[in-house]
Amino acid sequence: MEDAYARSLSEVLEFFGVDPSKGLTDAQVVKHAKSYGRNVLPQEKSTPFWKLVLKQFDDLLVKILIAAAIVSFVLALVNGETGLSAFLEPSVILMILAANAAVGVITETNAEKALEELRAYQADVATVLRNGCFSIIPATDLVPGDIVEVCVGCKVPADLRMLELLTDQLRVDQAILTGESGSVEKELAVTVAANAVYQDKTNILFSGTIVVAGRARAVVVGTGSNTAMGSIRDSMLNTEDEATPLKKKLDEFGTVLAKIIAGICILVWIVNIGHFGDPSHGGLLRGAIHYFKIAVALAVAAIPEGLPAVVTTCLALGTKKMARLNAIVRSLPSVETLGCTTVICSDKTGTLTTNMMSVSKICVLHSIRRGPIATEYSVSGTTYAPDGSIYDSTGVQLDIPAQHPCLLHIAMCSALCNESVVQYNPDKKNYEKIGESTEVALRVLGEKIGIPGFDSMPSALNMLSKHERAAYCNRHWENHFKRISLLEFSRDRKMMSVLCSNKEMEIMFSKGAPESIISRCSTIMCNDEGSTVPLTPNIRAELESRFEIFAGRLTLRCLALAFKRMPAGQQVLSVDDERGLTFIGLVGMLDPPRDEVREAILSCRTAGIRVIVVTGDNKVTAESLCKKIGGFDHLDDFSGLSYTASEFEDLPAMQKTVALQRMTLFTRVEPSHKRMLVEALQNQNEVVAMTGDGVNDAPALKKADIGIAMGSGTAVAKSASDMVLADDNFATIIAAVAEGRAIYNNTKQFIRYMISSNIGEVVCIFVAAALGIPDTLMPVQLLWVNLVTDGLPATAIGFNKQDCDVMKVKPRKVNEAVVTGWLFFRYLVIGVYVGLATVAGFIWWFIYSDTGPKLSYNELMNFDSCSTRETNYPCTVFSNRHPSTVSMTVLVVVEMFNALNNLSENQSLLIVPPWSNLWLVGSIILTMILHFLILYVQPLSVLFSVIPLTWADWKTVLYLSFPVIIIDEILKLFSRGPRGMKRFFRFRRPDFLPKREVRDK
């Protein structure tokens, strides 16, 4: 029954055919179970493992690589190759693809855990009325129409319509569903609000929420998927994971690259059609196969096999850095997504605030004889920990607060007129509450005030263990006063009273709404001497004025405290006793903002990131918080910046678009609104980060480009998120954004490095084929260069230092190309030089090397007809491994120099020297060591078809390789423009180079 909140009780009971005094009959239970199903969230079918694996290979580049591996293997068998050489190339390719597939499968498996965690919020048992008798049954057996009883501490087992209050009030903590910071009072009346959201449905108890006060009966109106929790599950199921901006760009790059590769391979094969019948091939078919193999080698050279592995490695390194910043990354691609985030939609409760109600202001009567009538105290400390101090109106800390009479009596009343508990959890290493948040705040206030009579107060309390300290002062008062009678809070009185006895003296303590308490007071306690004086109209007006300031301008939740001496021997309290009270003081409490949030909001603005506060709380409370944290700096009119969910939904389409571009605060929202907000922002090409900690946040966390959960949040929110903040601190997001931007910059650098290197390999093979000279490099040699010499330096580029101004620039646009037109030209120039240098090394050995045959260029070009003519050299010289070893070494060394070019996109090596990234220097050294091993260690040299080089060979290699640095320095000079050229020529000025500690940041 979807609209039970808008129906009268008689209509709801009639709809389900249930007698509220007897409950459902067994026959009705069976009938309803068939109609509505079990009270469980259905188990979603998980994607079969084999489908997850296949999905990882659904990529054009990957398919080309697989095809290349298969063709390479088949061609090896056709040519009669056996053993390791036939399997090496395809095996290495397939191993890399398998490793990347494993990472993808693990990531997608984690994403499905959120749906499983949602079931943890379903109640285990329920107290139900059936056949006229109450019994406890498994909550899964509930059906719509069941009459259920709930009480303090109960987890609501299904969506229930209130039927009868068994106590004066019923309050429910539904923060996991709505994000409200305080508990909600439930009532029987019909909800008449149009477009009612969860917060408006005050007659409905939602599945999974917790009863914190009172007892009531209710009728089940929704079970399983038809509950509020069920709608969240459906929303999560309907949310498809968005590809990250980097993934989109890499996919686009891969598609373009695949088309270019296919075109070049076909072109190479066609260009050599005339050579198919050359005698050296032994037949037309064998010639076609030979050049087809060259085309495959070209594909292997062009595709950056190591790119997925290097991207994954770089992102993994980023996750380690973020972990040190208390940002735990659950999805590797989200590391980079942070870098282009343009909007952060932040949950208020628990993210921007501590989600721990605490007293921040106290107002008491100072004296009627001198000075101001009333005085205020400020209270520090924003958690349930008993850590904090009391400060007077001038900002001076009170050494022993309990020496002040009014504060002492506030502590006594807070401890005795209280039903909550504060305890220390050693596993979580924090203080936890049991009961109503406002009562817990009073408990903590009592601990901060302390107890009188000891000179060592309050330092002596710090000697206690955390478990003892949690309620030491409260227990002190509970031991001195015996509670005799209790008058519970009621909606008409709006107050609660407790009768206590101490040494044959009876005293009543009361707390409640200020208007209720003040109207029942006839006297008031003075704080300067502890005397009691009549509550005059002037004093009453002053107190009411302070209450208006606390509740209005400061938006504090206020309670007034009072006491009354009772006749000796009185054992029972009545409502009539709550007259002639003595006013003690007024306390104002709030869910306080985190200390670091204001600075973090300012950092977001500097970085071009907009913050939208999203909350289920009411508009006035949320606007007050936004003012405190800098969201509404220097503004008195919030129109156009602050909207409730219903106000936003009522806007015309065009005004919604404008509102989304200015919105700072979004209040009274429920889960569907959060998800809608994320989608609307994404439709405006915004990259959205959503923070949250409740079950209600899960759909939006899953839909956002990056979902950020709080470490103390629900398991559902964590499972649906991409990142978890271990310290629950909004400021940590800013540090993570800076790291994300740095990671993207480094990712761009190694992608460009690999592109230019692979262009060189393509040019090498293409030019060799076009010139008609022997194969410059064997496929296995190309694979070695791609995997080892590309991979290690490319990964090390990920350790480039973060730019000092990384958070002073606007977020990059999502459609910004990884390689722009000018940059592509730059790396095309570099790539062409790399390829030509590699071919030059090959030709050099045949024509100029003292150890070579010293052929003419014409003889080298006509190598394939060697067997058909007379020569003064053996034809076997063209199968010599020496020239391919030289060209392979040139390719390795030139790429090492090219890696140094990528320390910075535009800065010269004279400004950003190689030792600024020692990881890169180390990787270059390691790469060269590995290359020396395959050159000079016998089994490896045979495997890779190479031979040792002489010193003369090495000199030629260096001569051909080093110019790549000079070429790139010239291109960087043009990139910087005229201004950059001036800076280049002034680089030695002392004030130009930043200090080491600044550079290293």
The set of catalytic residues is: 347
Is residue 358 packed enough to be buried (19+ CB in 10 Å), middle (13-18) or exposed (0-12)? buried
Q: 118 and 176 in contact (C-beta within 8 Å)?
A: no
Q: Which of 892, 908, 905, 895 is nearest to 800 (CA)?
A: 905
Tokens of 162: 């209130």
Evaluate the CA torsion angle 3, 4, 8, 14 in order and state its sign: positive
Q: Are 835 and 842 in contact (CB under 8 A)?
A: no
| Buried-state track 256-271, b at ≥16 Cβ within 10 A, e below 16 | ebbeebeebbeebbee
CB atoms < 10 A from the CB of 683, how many? 10
Q: Which residues contact 732 (CB under 8 A, 6 or more apart)?
A: 325, 326, 327, 725, 726
Closest to 343 measured CA to CA, from 744, 633, 693, 683? 683
3-state secondary structure of 666: strand
Helix (H, G, I), strand (E, B) or coil at 389: coil
* C-alpha to C-alpha distance for 715 and 693, rounded to whole angstroms: 9
Strand order in the sheet with 723-725: 327-329, 723-725, 706-710, 688-692, 343-347, 610-614, 665-667, 642-644
Say which DSSP state 637 is in. -
993: left (phi over 0), alpha (psi -120 to 50) or beta: beta
Residues 6+ apart with CB under 8 A from 339: 737, 740, 741, 742, 743, 744, 745, 811, 812
First and final C-alpha spacing in the chain: 59
What is the number of other CB atoms lying within 10 angstroms of the CB of residue 616? Answer: 29
Handedness of CA 430, 433, 438, 441 (dihedral sign): negative
Beta bridge partners of 390: 379
Tell me how far apart the alpha carbons of residues 117 and 718 are, in angstroms, rounded to a whole number.
Answer: 9
Nearest to 956 by CA among 825, 848, 858, 833: 848
Which residue is listed with tokens 């101004």? 805
Cα-to-chain-centroid distance, residue 904: 29
> Beta-carbon neighbour count of residue 390 at 10 Å?
24
> Between the CA of residue 351 and those of 691, 712, 726, 736, 928, what are the distances in Å?
7, 10, 12, 15, 50
- Sort residue 147 into left (φ over 0), alpha (ψ -120 to 50) or beta: beta
Beta bridge partners of 643: 666
Return the DSSP state at 594: P
Contact partners, residue 988, CB within 8 Å, separation at least 6 = none
Cα–Cα distance for residue pair 278/269, rounded to 1 Å = 14
Could you give the CA distance from residue 76 to residue 78 in angstroms, rounded to a whole number?
5
Between CA 53 and CA 98 the distance in angstroms is 9
Alpha carbons 506 and 666: distance in angstroms, whole number: 50
